[in-house]
């Protein structure tokens, strides 16, 4: 007999699998049992053990290193009937779970972008201004909306190439992971709201990724011109 303990917020539940060991129990079976107990849609139900998310519904529980009487944490929100009827196409709780998953992932991405994107943009401007072989723009040139507050940072040394590379990698990897996550969200044909939510999330994320890559290309072009000028001297 195998007993598995689940903790979901303040609620706890123990599932007993008679005459079975962990190697005989699939993750999908446990997730289905958690769904039946909590009414959290499967699309928004996540199990975590030892700080790691348990993935692949076909994998046996034994591969996750679960110890006897170990506790698994369940994450997910039980939607209300109002939420389901208001936010979905036909009142399907699974569509609601997909919508919430997409929205939460997009918001997490946008929060990180809001913190790091302006810093990266200013760093790129500073790097190009200090390394460009061509004359820098006149101080009389009016600043655009992205250069507000740069006067205070003008006295700071320009970023190193490695700092720019690290900043670009952080943003591009975060945005790419989000795009892959959205791509992995499978929406049924009739989940029209979920599909539209996914399209908008991809569009917004791709827009930022294009901007980040464009700034990186500008830095690379600056390096190329500087190297070319040094070779001619």
- d(C-alpha 28, C-alpha 48), whole Å: 13
Distances in Å between the Cα of 119 and the Cα atoms of 17, 62, 73, 75, 217 are 53, 45, 36, 33, 17
User: pLDDT of 115-137, one tens digit each?
Assistant: 999 999 999 999 998 876 555 45
CA-nearest of 219, 225, 210 to 126 is 219
Looking up tokens 């709201």 gives 193
Q: Dig out the tokens for 105 from the structure.
A: 């992932």
| Enclosing H/E stretch for 47 | strand 46-49
Rounded to whole angstroms, the Cα distance separating 174 from 186 reads: 21
Q: Do residues 43 and 36 lie in contact, with contact meaning Cβ atoms separated by under 8 Å?
A: no
**Residue 95, class by beta-carbon neighbours within 10 Å (0-12 exposed, 13-18 middle, 19+ buried)?**
buried
The tens digit of pLDDT for each residue in 135-172 reads 545 444 444 544 444 444 445 688 999 999 999 999 99
CA distance 84 to 88: 6
- How many CA atoms, within 13 angstroms, populate the side-chain half-sphere of residue 198? 22
**What's the Rg (C-alpha) of the chain?**
25
Per-residue tens of pLDDT for the chain, all 233 residues: 889 999 999 999 999 988 888 999 999 999 999 999 999 998 889 999 988 999 899 999 999 998 877 899 999 888 889 989 998 999 999 999 999 999 989 999 999 999 999 999 999 999 998 876 555 454 444 445 444 444 444 456 889 999 999 999 999 999 999 999 999 998 999 999 999 999 999 999 999 999 999 999 999 999 898 888 888 87
């Amino acid at each position: 007999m195998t007993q598995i303990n689940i903790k979901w917020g303040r609620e706890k539940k123990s599932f007993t699998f008679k005459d079975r060991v962990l190697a005989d129990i699939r993750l999908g079976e446990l997730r289905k049992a958690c769904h039946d107990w909590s009414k959290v849609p499967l699309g928004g139900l996540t199990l975590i053990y030892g700080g790691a998310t348990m993935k692949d519904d076909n994998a046996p529980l034994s591969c996750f290193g679960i110890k006897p009487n170990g506790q698994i944490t369940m994450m997910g929100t039980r939607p209300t009937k109002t939420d389901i009827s208001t936010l979905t196409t036909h009142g399907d709780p699974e569509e609601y779970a997909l919508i919430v998953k997409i929205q939460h992932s997009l918001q997490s991405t946008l929060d990180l972008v809001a913190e790091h994107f302006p810093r990266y943009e200013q760093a790129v401007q500073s790097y190009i201004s200090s390394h460009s072989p061509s004359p820098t723009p006149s101080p009389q040139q009016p600043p655009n909306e992205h250069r507000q507050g740069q006067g205070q940072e003008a006295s700071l040394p320009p970023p190193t190439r490695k700092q720019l590379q690290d900043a670009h990698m952080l943003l591009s990897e975060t945005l790419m992971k989000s795009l892959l996550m959205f791509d992995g969200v499978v929406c049924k044909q009739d989940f029209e709201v979920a599909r539209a939510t996914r399209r908008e999330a991809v569009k917004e994320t791709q827009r930022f990724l294009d901007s980040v890559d464009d700034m990186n290309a500008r830095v690379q072009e600056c390096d190329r011109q500087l190297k070319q000028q040094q070779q001619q001297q």
